[in-house]
Amino acid sequence: MSSLRGFALSIFVLLFLPAAAQAQSTGGAEYVAPPPPPPENMVVAGSVATLLPDGSAAAPADAPIQVQQAIWAANKLQDKPYKYGGGHAKIEDTGYDCSGTVSYALIAAGLLKSPLPSGPFMRWGERGKGQWITVYAHGGHAYAVIAGLRLDTSSYSSRIARKRKVIASTLERGPRWRMTMRPSRGFRARHPAGL
């Protein structure tokens, strides 16, 4: 008889307790997992790079692989601080200056062998704007426009950007993608051959 009672108790536990346990509520909010981070080497349709909510950029699918590699490399610098001389003594550094930032992206794309200061960028590559990559330089500053986005350590035009709803990191000093262009007066425009 006791074995029959034990069997009946087992059936009761299996059939009714799980339903009762599921029906109980703690009153707390249901856990919702955060969205996954964007893929490291994200690509978007078209010929223009897209600034993502985390401050990184998605490379355009229509761009040559060197352009995509430059964008993906520059994404790795988005949390780095501005550091005078950064990116020159060593390519992987704790911070980057303007020409160190541009150099990092170009080296990763196979378009530059070693870092250049801003002055030598005035003679680098070919004259004028490129179709995909343009480096703007004068003796004291350098920045690049890659597939329509500005890669710069200066938050130039941040007043304009603040009036719009912008990604906060684009207003910070340091190697970042910028939502706004800046006047190129006083800078020499150079580009890699064929790009």
Residue-range domain boundaries for the chain: 43-191
Please tell me the predicted confidence (pLDDT) of residue 2.
Answer: 53
At position 22, the amino acid (one-letter code) is: Q
Instruction: Report whether 155 contacts 173 (CB < 8 A).
Output: yes
Is the pLDDT at 160 greater than 50, yes or no?
A: no
Over the stretch 172-194, which tens digit does the pLDDT of each residue have?
678 999 878 889 999 999 999 99
The rounded mean pLDDT for the chain is 83
φ and ψ at 58, to 5 degrees? -95, 130
Is the pLDDT at 11 greater than 60, yes or no?
A: no
Top CATH class of 43-191 equals alpha beta
Please tell me the predicted confidence (pLDDT) of residue 180.
Answer: 82
Please tell me the predicted confidence (pLDDT) of residue 173.
Answer: 72
Q: Which stretches of the chain are assigned E, i.e. beta strand?
A: 43-44, 50-51, 57-60, 126-127, 133-138, 141-146, 149-152, 176-178, 188-191
Please tell me the predicted confidence (pLDDT) of residue 169.
Answer: 47
Average pLDDT value for residue range 73-83: 95
Percent of the chain beyond pLDDT 90? 63
